[in-house]
Structure 1
Amino acid sequence: NDQLILCGLNWLTSNPKRQQQIQETSWDLLVVDEAHHLAWSADEPSLEYQTIEKLAEATPGVLLLTATPDQLGHESHFARLRLLDPARFYDYPAFLKEESQYTQLAEAVAPLIEGDELSAEQTAQLTALAPEIMAQFDDLNSTENRDAILHQLIDCHGTGRLLFRNRRAAIEGFPSRHLHAYPLPKPELYENDEITSLTEALYPERQPALADVWLDADPRVKWLLNLLPDIKPEKVLLICASAATAQQLAELIRVRTGIRQAVFHEGMSIVERDKAAHYFADPEDGAQILLCSEIGSEGRNFQFAHHLVLFDLPLTPDLLEQRIGRLDRIGQTQDIQIHVPVIEESAQSVLLKWYHEGLNAFEQTCPTGGKVFDTVEETLVMNCLTPFDTELQQELIEQSQQLNAELKAKLDAGRDKLLELNAAGVGRVDTLLEQIVAQDSASELPKFAGRLFDAIGIVQEEKGQDCFILRPSESMIGHLPGLDPEGMTVTYRRRTATTLENVHFLTWDHPLIHHAMEMVMTDIYGKSSVGFVADTSQPKGAYYLETLFVLSAKAPAALQLERFLPPTPIRLCLDAKSQASDLDTTAHRPLGRKVATQLVQALTPQLQQHLQHARELAHKQANHVLGEAMNAMQTTLGGEVQRLKDLQQQNPAIRDSEIEFIEIQMAALTKVLQESDVQLDAVRVLVNNP
């Protein structure tokens, strides 16, 4: 009966019973994070992919998230698009053919994006690609016309309706990355020319015979123990390939230095990993270093730290980028210092040189790294097993440099610039961003939330760093969903929330705020009251009736009724003659229960008449609001239906079901709006007693 389920994909694939239960349940939205793990081929789709495919077929909304869509190959990228729209993406060769046209399209739209004047050849190229769009415009140098052409091209071509992909180069706010390499002498313990296992070559400390002795001999350990005091109190994230390595290093740091540390590995439960991450994030009493196994390189963000220690290096570039990405994120306030201790003439030294000189993968993101790796993998592995072969190493680096340059040039030429333009929201998000910034900097919500929490018995304590601790008090009225009985740390500042992952970011849309408001509004206490006002311009004993009606309707969430008609309050204040009054009702004095009861009993006949008149006035105002809501709905959705019908002539991505969905939504919303009504929500009687 839960509204939200969070689970690991491996939990689903390893529990057939749970998998069946989830597939038999009706879900509104399916979100898959790190979706690049969904491997697929036409002959052999992975179990993970098949599991998600069954869920996607029965779920109306599907959202796939990944920072490295091509990590498991381009075929798997196509397969993820297939999950979103199997009718549109039915054939991989056809998809590749369509993608091959992006180079032409990229060249054609480049002048429009850059604001350059179109040559006759470029105009002809655009006309050949989109004759129906170009025929609508005469002046191609008009800024307004250029924007219109671009937006129509986005609608009519490519995958921009399903895929949103932002490139780092197009987004501000990312830090610089700096590599610090530390070549260290090779200990006798690791002198073994007969190693043929790649794992033992890359991670010699994991040899069973060395499990209890490597810490004393490995120069990287001594280097680490010296680094931590040198940069104290700076926080350090250390990532290594093995959970055992992380645990052994953590214990050594505890015993020999007393420096606060935490570990994070796959052998811990989710709750234990959360506690470790929160301990590391604590700016005052938290750990200076968090030691992670490879599991720490995905899904967790530690941008409050600026030092990353790569105790060893992974074999694949995408995994290296995942590691660096734990710190290299929007919200990072300083440049990232990447520390790599490496033993000379080892497999790790080969990887260091290949990554840095062949791909420049430490100081820049490397979107082509995966394809370069696929090409040179055999040579790379051979060099890792023979790190003393400098000629082979130089050949590897030169080949990788050339491949990397060629692939980057090809990628830049062939990338779907329209897709990137649509994903970035150029020309459409500026107003929205301004509104978000204005709302974030406003003080209304913190003030309102403080009064709201006081009203329902929640204690709000300042913690520092723009954070507050919310705790239920003994006088709290009922249970507030979402509030931890032990307390929770919150902030009203977006930057603080993006830096401290364990802090809840409260906005007007946060469920905690919604639930708290609902507690107040649904409680009968406060729905009716009686008070005195002091108006010297009116006779003593004059009375007023203040009413609050709410115009609302009930509709399934899928209709998104609140886009056009959110619950709308209608406030009316009437005097003794049932005429509208502009009386300031905020400055009133409360009455005792006995006097209030006597006044209401004496005025009951008149109040009943005024209430009836107030309801009639509320209906008139409601009809006006409903008319505006109906027009807004029909204009918005009707315009979208017509747009989709027009686009369907050029873009096969537009399905009949999309159009039918909006038409059904319009019909259902029309019926709901016609059946909406006003309800009396609160009433107050005020008597003049100057």
Structure 2
Amino acid sequence: MVANATSMQFIPGQRWLSETEMEQGLGMVSQLQGRMVTVLFPVTGEFRHYAMNEAPLARYRLLVDEQGHHGDGWSFRVTQVDEQNGLLTYHGIREGDESAVVVPEAQLAAQVATNHPLTRILAGKVDRLDMYQLRQQAQQHLQDWQRSPAVGLIGARADLLPHQLYVAAQVADRHHPRVLLADEVGLGKTIEAGLILQRRLLTGRSERVLIVVPDSLAHQWLVELLRRFNLGFSLFDEERCEQAALDGDAIFASEQLALIPQSLLSHPVWSGELFEVSWDLLIVDEAHQMAPSEPRFQLLQKLTQHTPSVLLLTATPEQAGLAAHFARLQLLDPDRFNDFDAFIEEQEGYQALVPKAEEFAARGDVQALDELLDSYGTGRVMFRNSRRHIGGFPTRHLEVEELEAGDSLLTRFEWLVQLLKAHKQEKFVLICRSTELVLALHEMLRVQQGIHAAVFHEGLSLVERDRAAAYFASPEDGCQLLLCSEIGSEGRNFQFAQHLVLFDLPRHPDLLEQRIGRLDRLGQQADIYIHVPVVANTPEQILFAWYEAMQAFTQTNAIGAMLYQHFAPAIEQLIDSQANGDLDTELFASAMQETRAMAADMRVAADAGRDRLQELNAFRPHQIDQLTSAIEALQKPVELERFMLSFWDRFGLEFDRLNDHSGWLYPTEHMRIPLAGLPEEGLTVTFSRSYALAHEDVTFLSWDHPLVQQALELLTRDTFGSTAVALLQNRALTAGAWFIELHFSSVVLAPKQLAVQEFYPHHSFRVLLDGQGRDLTPKVAPGVLDKQLQFLDKKQARLLLKQLRAECQQAIQTAWKPAEALQQKALTQASEQVKATLNHELNRLLKLKQSNPLVRDSEVEALNQRRDALIEAFKQPLLQLDSVRIMVNMPT
């Protein structure tokens, strides 16, 4: 839809555009009176009165081959234009039935695409030259971002660790992934889940997500999702569900991203509401906390059947025994895991594969190693990285203090006070079993010793926990000691402290490992010291001896669950006999000796069998190089900062630099458009990952961040920078010569789940024509003329446009053919890439399926369908005029 003003001769029935009120749509001359013209704008029903010789109007005229819209709602392609007595009549072919139509201009639809760059150009609407240039930069940045395999993997406030990136890359792009993330404590399985989640959301593979977490971790997950991944989830606890029920709709229908506590799975009403919406991704944290015999596990089973993609998270997959572990694998693939005895036999059989795998790994035969690991049964549904395999962990030092029998609490308290006084400048984390003990210790330290400690337990609100953590962490004003309950410490990491006090000991080895993992984790810069007070004739005396026998304090303890399953009755019997004053010393000695022997045998077996295969499978370093290169190519923090500084400057935001790495970003009264996520008071931002990791209160900006994505969207989908007029100063060219540069956007419309942008991202095709309509695109590279261009104010720009309206309209029509040719070339390349890439992946899956039954038929079929659907979608691309720049040569 375009306009052309040949003269300011007005005749009733003509159609004109308002240069100053384009939102009024297409106007119609209704009356002439003296030197005044009255124009009716049907869209708003308003009349405007103008002086004829100064009317800010542009004549609306369609050219042959352009599309017109009738007032009754149908469209036609113009084949001929007649003019009689100043009025236009269009002959054309109606779209849909291909019938011939005749349309007087008075019957044209009043609504026109006022945002269309050609409509804006011909109505005299132009932007600043630097805004036009910023738009072109955004087009290129968006294309680079969409096609990168690193989308969703660069925006996390976290170190980009190779083993986490490997797991995320293996899982995120699968069709309906169903996996168990079971890295040992401290290796970041939550980060892996977040990376998978963010990539699936940003690529369109997932849209409606449900996360189930232990009640005590619900608020912590909300904060971590926002802080680390900029994902705003809604917490649906009982109170929120009750409130939503009053609105009358399905409880969970209002939000795409929902998080619920595990207890909600047991609710008689709200648990059923979970099935009223279609989730496409389910994430379950601490999955081992729900036993197969519990009703909430049964509901979880139904939920996994209801949801196509499932991630289960647990650092201790076998804590409740192999049968419970098998039950969780059944949640992921009930068809494959249907026989427990066969599963046990299969797991034991993997021991025979280890020598071959070690041989391949030692000699660097990665192809043979990959083929062997691909045949490993649970390797496709379970990822378990070990500390030994990843490396980079601190050394654990055990500091045990044997105390005489007596008042256990008082004896340990006195020992604790002396310990703190001996290390006044060092940070201590104390973990014990209950909130009650935490509060008692806090009060005793404050009243009796004047020692102020931070407390951290499940009874605190999210804000209170954050304040406690900040109080403890502060190097200047912080406290020396943080008191944590067992549950209250889950999900929090205190790797800036080096001293851990185990004030009492848990009954399960995995809980002990989780406690130690609060400090012993990636990011810990020094050795850690584990302090254990053991009072004679207490349960701790039995438990300490048992844990020391299995070396649980000084080594990671992957075999703890299996030892617990075997020895738990004997340990409980020993604790009971000691409490009755009649410790069975023979049973004690034999249990400790047997534990040492069995632990040693189990470690040897684990190293030789399934656990070693899990290590090798969960992280294959040779497969990460390509992704690491893609991440490096996409991040470009310096380029991102330059782009965002230009965007903020053009859109009325201020950026006050605070130091070399950060600045204060805030809106001004000149801000062009509100930005979601930017508070009125502003926020501190950085483009440096390392600075963001050291300053959690600073927003980390990457190409994945919502504020950056908003900038790209505004500059590629809205009208900002879509039109510009500039003066060209080139003495080698004739004065008055003019050029028109057009950018056409090209997209392929397809369902989001196909992630079409990975093969055909948002394209921008440039066409450069001179005033005679000659195509100069191959001869003049993009940006070459920019250095010769000067800004032109809007008044001068409008005068130039009025003179060139007819020529511009014709030039724009001419540019479509070369733009279509460029689009077809890009589509052909994309189609070939789809076939090559997906056929390769399809053949790999089919080959893998021969040796690994965990490759589901649905995965193979999904690849076939995606390939065929993408190739079909490429047949109907959408090519649109995106931006126009007119350059007129006026050398000084």
Q: Same fold (TM over 0.5)?
A: yes
Equivalent in the alignment of 2:351 = 103
Q: Counterpart of 1:648 in 2: which secondary structure?
A: helix
Equivalent in the alignment of 1:201 = none
* Residues 203-352 of structure 1 mapped to structure 2, 5 A cutoff: 205=409, 218-228=410-420, 231-232=423-424, 234-253=426-445, 261-282=453-474, 285=477, 288-352=480-544
User: Does the CA-based 8 Å contact 1:103-1:415 persist in structure 2?
Assistant: yes
Q: Which amino acid aligns with 2:395?
A: S
Equivalent in the alignment of 2:262 = 9
Q: Which amino acid aligns with 1:323?
A: R
CA–CA distance in structure 1, aligned partners of residues 478 and 369 of structure 2: 50
Do structure 1's residue 558 and structure 2's residue 558 form an aligned pair? no
Equivalent in the alignment of 1:88 = 336
- Greater alpha carbon shift after TM alignment, 488-497 vs 518-527: 488-497
Q: 1:306 Cα deviation (Å)?
A: 2.8
Equivalent in the alignment of 2:311 = 63
- Greater alpha carbon shift after TM alignment, 639-648 vs 622-631: 639-648
Give the one of 634, 655, 664 matched to 2:865: 664
- Greater alpha carbon shift after TM alignment, 393-402 vs 317-326: 393-402
The TM-score with structure 1 as length reference comes to 0.83
Q: 1:302 Cα deviation (Å)?
A: 2.5
Q: Which amino acid aligns with 2:518?
A: R
Equivalent in the alignment of 1:534 = 729
CA–CA distance in structure 2, aligned partners of residues 363 and 468 of structure 1: 44
CA–CA distance in structure 2, aligned partners of residues 584 and 436 of structure 1: 32
Equivalent in the alignment of 1:77 = 325
CA–CA distance in structure 1, aligned partners of residues 697 and 437 of structure 2: 26
Do structure 1's residue 365 and structure 2's residue 584 form an aligned pair? no
Do structure 1's residue 605 and structure 2's residue 806 form an aligned pair? yes
Equivalent in the alignment of 1:621 = 822
Q: Deviations over 1:614-659 (max 9, x none)?
A: 3322221111111111111111222222333344344332332222
Structure 1 pair 466–298 and aligned structure 2 pair: CA distance change class (3 A): farther
Structure 1 pair 378–655 and aligned structure 2 pair: CA distance change class (3 A): closer
Q: Counterpart of 2:355 in 1: which secondary structure?
A: helix
Give the one of 284, 288, 291 matched to 1:39: 291
**Superposition CA RMSD, Å:** 3.1
- Greater alpha carbon shift after TM alignment, 671-680 vs 446-455: 446-455
Q: 1:404 Cα deviation (Å)?
A: 0.5
Do structure 1's residue 637 and structure 2's residue 890 form an aligned pair? no
Do structure 1's residue 150 and structure 2's residue 342 form an aligned pair? no
CA–CA distance in structure 2, aligned partners of residues 327 and 173 of structure 1: 13
Equivalent in the alignment of 2:271 = 19
Equivalent in the alignment of 1:381 = 572
CA–CA distance in structure 2, aligned partners of residues 468 and 6 of structure 1: 33
Q: Counterpart of 1:508 in 2: which secondary structure?
A: coil
User: Does the CA-based 8 Å contact 1:452-1:517 persist in structure 2?
Assistant: no
User: Does the CA-based 8 Å contact 2:714-2:720 persist in structure 1?
Assistant: no
Do structure 1's residue 410 and structure 2's residue 611 form an aligned pair? no
Q: Which amino acid aligns with 1:663?
A: N
Structure 1 pair 571–282 and aligned structure 2 pair: CA distance change class (3 A): farther
Q: 1:365 Cα deviation (Å)?
A: 0.4
CA–CA distance in structure 1, aligned partners of residues 752 and 370 of structure 2: 30
Structure 1 pair 651–257 and aligned structure 2 pair: CA distance change class (3 A): same
- Greater alpha carbon shift after TM alignment, 559-568 vs 645-654: 645-654
Q: Deviations over 1:296-345 (max 9, x none)?
A: 34222232333322222211110011111122222222222323334344
CA–CA distance in structure 1, aligned partners of residues 665 and 431 of structure 2: 34
Give the one of 783, 794, 802 matched to 1:593: 794
Structure 1 pair 9–495 and aligned structure 2 pair: CA distance change class (3 A): farther
User: Does the CA-based 8 Å contact 1:179-1:337 persist in structure 2?
Assistant: yes
CA–CA distance in structure 2, aligned partners of residues 345 and 172 of structure 1: 39
Q: Which amino acid aligns with 2:366?
A: D
- Greater alpha carbon shift after TM alignment, 52-61 vs 374-383: 374-383
Which has the greater radius of gyration? Answer: 2
Q: 1:688 Cα deviation (Å)?
A: 3.0
Q: Deviations over 1:572-623 (max 9, x none)?
A: 3333343223333256432222111101111112222222233322221111
Q: Counterpart of 1:338 in 2: which secondary structure?
A: strand
Structure 1 pair 15–542 and aligned structure 2 pair: CA distance change class (3 A): farther
Equivalent in the alignment of 1:576 = 771
CA–CA distance in structure 1, aligned partners of residues 448 and 750 of structure 2: 64
- Greater alpha carbon shift after TM alignment, 487-496 vs 72-81: 487-496
Give the one of 403, 426, 429 matched to 2:624: 429
Equivalent in the alignment of 1:52 = 300
CA–CA distance in structure 1, aligned partners of residues 787 and 402 of structure 2: 73
CA–CA distance in structure 2, aligned partners of residues 533 and 347 of structure 1: 87
Structure 1 pair 397–416 and aligned structure 2 pair: CA distance change class (3 A): closer
* Relative contact order higher in (CA < 8 Å, ≥ 6 apart): 2
User: Does the CA-based 8 Å contact 1:550-1:567 persist in structure 2?
Assistant: yes
CA–CA distance in structure 1, aligned partners of residues 808 and 663 of structure 2: 45
How many residues align? The count is: 628
CA–CA distance in structure 2, aligned partners of residues 593 and 527 of structure 1: 14
Q: Deviations over 1:117-136 (max 9, x none)?
A: xxxxxxxxxxxxxxxxxxxx
* Residues 175-186 of structure 1 mapped to structure 2, 5 A cutoff: 175-186=394-405
Q: Which has the higher strand share?
A: 2
The TM-score with structure 2 as length reference comes to 0.65
Q: Deviations over 1:126-178 (max 9, x none)?
A: xxxxxxxxxxxxxxxxx6xx433332333334122222221211103222222
User: Mind listing any 5+ residue stretches in structure 1 that lack a counterpart?
Assistant: 116-142, 191-204, 206-217
Q: 1:20 Cα deviation (Å)?
A: 2.0
Q: Which amino acid aligns with 2:430?
A: L
Structure 1 pair 520–367 and aligned structure 2 pair: CA distance change class (3 A): same
Q: 1:366 Cα deviation (Å)?
A: 0.9
CA–CA distance in structure 1, aligned partners of residues 427 and 788 of structure 2: 53
Q: Counterpart of 1:684 in 2: which secondary structure?
A: strand
Structure 1 pair 649–349 and aligned structure 2 pair: CA distance change class (3 A): closer
CA–CA distance in structure 2, aligned partners of residues 391 and 460 of structure 1: 73
CA–CA distance in structure 1, aligned partners of residues 701 and 833 of structure 2: 30
Equivalent in the alignment of 1:134 = none
Equivalent in the alignment of 2:379 = 160
CA–CA distance in structure 1, aligned partners of residues 420 and 889 of structure 2: 72
CA–CA distance in structure 1, aligned partners of residues 488 and 836 of structure 2: 49
Structure 1 pair 288–440 and aligned structure 2 pair: CA distance change class (3 A): farther
User: Does the CA-based 8 Å contact 1:184-1:343 persist in structure 2?
Assistant: yes
User: Does the CA-based 8 Å contact 1:332-1:499 persist in structure 2?
Assistant: no
Do structure 1's residue 448 and structure 2's residue 643 form an aligned pair? yes
User: Does the CA-based 8 Å contact 2:455-2:468 persist in structure 1?
Assistant: yes
Quote the sequence identity (%): 42
Q: Which has the higher helix share?
A: 1
User: Does the CA-based 8 Å contact 2:735-2:889 persist in structure 1?
Assistant: yes
CA–CA distance in structure 1, aligned partners of residues 817 and 835 of structure 2: 27
Structure 1 pair 476–290 and aligned structure 2 pair: CA distance change class (3 A): farther
Q: Counterpart of 2:433 in 1: which secondary structure?
A: coil
Structure 1 pair 648–74 and aligned structure 2 pair: CA distance change class (3 A): same
Equivalent in the alignment of 1:174 = 393
Q: Which amino acid aligns with 2:317?
A: P
CA–CA distance in structure 2, aligned partners of residues 376 and 172 of structure 1: 30
Q: Counterpart of 1:173 in 2: which secondary structure?
A: coil
Structure 1 pair 222–24 and aligned structure 2 pair: CA distance change class (3 A): same
Do structure 1's residue 506 and structure 2's residue 704 form an aligned pair? no
Structure 1 pair 554–601 and aligned structure 2 pair: CA distance change class (3 A): same
User: Does the CA-based 8 Å contact 2:377-2:853 persist in structure 1?
Assistant: no
Q: Which amino acid aligns with 2:525?
A: T
